[in-house]
Amino acid sequence: MRARLWLALTAAAAIVLGGATAIVLGGATAATATGPVALSSSRVVDQSGVLSGAQVSEVDTRLRALTAKSGVDLWVAYVPQFTDPSTPEDWANQTAQNNGLGPHQYLLAISTDGRQYYLSGSSAGPVTGDELTTIERERVQPALSAGNWVGAATSAADGLADAIAGGTGGAGVDAAGIITPILLVIVVIALAGLIIWIVMRSRRRRSPAGPGTETPPAPVSIEDLTRRASSALVQTDDAVKTSEQELGFARAQFGDEAAREFESALASAKAQLDEAFALRQKLDDESPDSDDDTRAWNMRIIELCEAADAHLDEKAAAFDDLRKLEQNAPDALARLREKKESVAGAHDTAVATLTDLTSAYDPLALTAIADNPEQASQRLAFADTLLDTAAAQIAAGNTSAAAVSIRAAEDAVAQAEMLHNAVARMSADLAQAEADAAALIADLETDIAAATALPDPDGRLAPVIAATRAQVEAARPLVTGPAKRPLFAREGLDRANAQIDAVLAGIRDEQERAARASAQLGGLIAQAQGEISAAEDFISSRRGAVGAEARTRLAEAGASLVQARQLQQNDPAQALAAAQRAHELATQAMQAAQNDVGVFQSGMFGGSGGSQRTGSGGDMMGAILGGIVLNSLLNGGGGSRSRSGGGFGGLGGGGSISPGGFGGAGSRARRGGGRF
């Protein structure tokens, strides 16, 4: 009897729903096609209107609780139809990439009319592809089949939390989330009635354009494109830097020949990234850009970053096969322990060098390296923790987890070595700047004497002579005093030298002018190289906090330096201009990077500064600053972020190690999904 009642009710529901569908198809426009959407601070995008305001709030609260508990983010997007691209996996992955989602950030995409879904996650994230598939199959799909839109989102969150905690991610949907058969019929009938009401209401309010008119989707705003392009630059730059570092590890272990095929992929990715940075520099310069150019250049930046990622991803599997960290975990662990001890042995030298520099130079001359020993100490302590963890994982037979720990420890040790070397490089740069500044002072004094002896009937020489003399007097204490700033002094002396040289150019013969220009050019190229190296070290070892602006300036500074060297012999005047631009851009890169790190540390430590933190908490903070540990508590709220994309944040329930590898910016996994 119950079976017959169920069949009868089901048939009735089908008739009613079928009638409603006919009205929709016959009297209203087709289901709205939706391209990749922009995610916001809310974790829910409901373009289908399937959730009430209270339900949106309920889902958003549950997804934020997932972040606090498990350190991963989940967004859920409900749209009528997937289009451009039209497959569930491509649409979800494209949306994730457009919005700069990082390895610890996931997107559940649901097509409510197309009855398709996909849970997008990075292959570099903490939840495996198999676990994501299990979450889809055992949690998301049953809820969607039951018409439980809220349950699909919360069940996905529960599955991610379970996988992070060591489970499989799977489980049956909670009984409360399954709608009983009788209730399903009632809901279907009610839904059919609602559809009829909506359609009839839309007929009354139809625009004068008449039936069949669809409202085209709003174009992506310039602000949105700019944000996506900035995010793509940061993530791709990180991928290139990490791939380059990984290639260095492989070259040291297996030799140049084994690394050659990966060098080509890295070179191609670098070339595309350089082109993207050049476009970003055009957008940032003082020349006004039209809206069309701004839109086109940002779209091109995104395309170039995607292409660079693709070049690296093509070789990622082969590179992993070369290193075989999982199979060779014990040997890799032993080698890394030796390397770590070697780097740790240089720590006292770096501390002593910085102490000597602090006693001789103004603090402003040392801002780029002031906390390097402390940062290096944090990286080494973090590496110790990872090495012990890897040893325990190997002993337990979990070589896959051990490989992750070893890779992160390699990154930490490499950053510590970079931080030590930056102190030594700064010491050498300051000493060279002192010598250069002293020579410039002597040269300028000769120029002042020569200019003073010249007739000055119209009074044009006098101001230049006075300005040059003032610059020399201002530079002396910066070169010989108790708080020296030779780099700053040399910059001012270079400007003064250029001014007085222009005045004296007419009385010097061509050979003397060429010699002086060559000497000036050589000094400026060396200066720019030192500044670029310092900015590279600073950004690479703090890349968890540094955004697109600093990276763009650094990339363009490097390009200008290459141009200066290429022109040095045949066109010294153009080479001098290029070297000057390299110097200016490198200075801007360092300033922007230091600002980003300041914002990061202020958000992390409440303004107390990262260098004051010691112990395991400080070690973890240093690892986050270095980009070794990714955490996303601040994504979507709770604090300011100094960059777009898969960001950083407070530890909350604990950060997740996500060491980089050779490859693109975390390709979104292609697996699972389906219909409901």
pLDDT of residue 378: 94
pLDDT of residue 178: 38
Q: How far is Cα 648 from Cα 641, in angstroms, rounded to an integer?
A: 8
Q: Are 620 and 648 in contact (CB under 8 A)?
A: no
The winner for highest mean pLDDT among 100-104, 182-186, 303-307 is 303-307
pLDDT at 388 over 70: yes
pLDDT of residue 674: 60
More confident residue, 447 or 111: 111
Average pLDDT over residues 476-501: 87
Domains in the chain with CATH codes: 8-204 (3.10.310.50), 440-604 (no CATH)
Residues 6+ apart with CB under 8 A from 371: 610, 611
Residues 6+ apart with CB under 8 A from 630: 102, 103, 104, 544, 624, 646, 648, 655, 656, 658
pLDDT of residue 639: 29
The winner for highest mean pLDDT among 93-97, 205-209, 381-385, 478-482 is 381-385
pLDDT of residue 5: 37
More confident residue, 529 or 31: 529
Region for residue 166 given its phi and psi (left: phi exceeds 0; alpha: psi -120 to 50; beta: otherwise): left
Residues in the chain: 676
Residues 6+ apart with CB under 8 A from 169: 127, 131, 132, 134, 135, 138, 139, 159, 160, 162, 163
Positive or negative, the CA dihedral 438, 443, 448, 449 is: positive
pLDDT at 510 over 60: no
Please give the span between the terminal C-alpha atoms of the chain, in angstroms, as a whole number: 29
pLDDT of residue 129: 78
Q: How far is Cα 27 from Cα 23, in angstroms, rounded to an integer?
A: 5
pLDDT of residue 176: 39
Q: How far is Cα 33 from Cα 116, in angstroms, rounded to an integer?
A: 13
pLDDT of residue 554: 95
pLDDT of residue 362: 93
Res. 514 pLDDT band, cuts 50 70 90: low
Q: How far is Cα 268 from Cα 249, in angstroms, rounded to an integer?
A: 20
Res. 499 pLDDT band, cuts 50 70 90: confident
Q: Is 385 helix (H, G, I), strand (E, B) or coil?
A: helix
On whether the pTM is more than 0.85, the answer is no
pLDDT at 343 over 90: yes
pLDDT of residue 261: 83
Q: What is the pLDDT of residues 401-433, one digit of tens each?
A: 888 888 889 999 999 999 999 999 999 999 999
Q: What is the pLDDT of residues 162-208, one digit of tens each?
A: 888 888 878 654 433 433 444 444 444 455 555 555 545 554 444 44
Q: How far is Cα 209 from Cα 582, in angstroms, rounded to an integer?
A: 57
- Tokens for 408? 């992160």
pLDDT at 396 over 50: yes
Amino acid at residue number 414? A
Percentage with pLDDT > 90 across the chain: 36
Mean pLDDT of the chain: 79
User: Closest by alpha carbon to 384, among 577, 622, 660, 610?
Assistant: 622
More confident residue, 37 or 668: 37
Q: What is the pLDDT of residues 522-543, one digit of tens each?
A: 888 988 999 999 999 999 999 8
pLDDT of residue 71: 84
Average pLDDT over residues 311-336: 84
Res. 511 pLDDT band, cuts 50 70 90: low
User: Closest by alpha carbon to 324, among 245, 427, 400?
Assistant: 400
Which residue shows structure tokens 């995610």? Answer: 39
pLDDT of residue 660: 59
pLDDT of residue 563: 94
pLDDT of residue 380: 95
Least confident of 209-218, 306-315, 330-339: 209-218
pLDDT at 86 over 50: yes
Q: How far is Cα 527 from Cα 596, in angstroms, rounded to an integer?
A: 24
Average pLDDT over residues 41-52: 90
pLDDT at 453 over 60: yes
Written in H, E and C, the secondary structure of 419-485 is: HHHHHHHHHHHHHHHHHHHHHHHHHHHHHHHHHHCCCCCCCCHHHHHHHHHHHHHHHHHHHHCCCEC
Which residue shows structure tokens 């994309």? Answer: 645
Q: How far is Cα 552 from Cα 546, in angstroms, rounded to an integer?
A: 11
Q: What is the pLDDT of residues 574-615, one digit of tens each?
A: 888 899 899 999 999 999 999 999 888 876 555 444 444 445
pLDDT at 40 over 60: yes
Least confident of 182-186, 248-252, 383-387: 182-186
Q: Are 199 and 27 in contact (CB under 8 A)?
A: yes
pLDDT of residue 39: 86
pLDDT of residue 228: 87
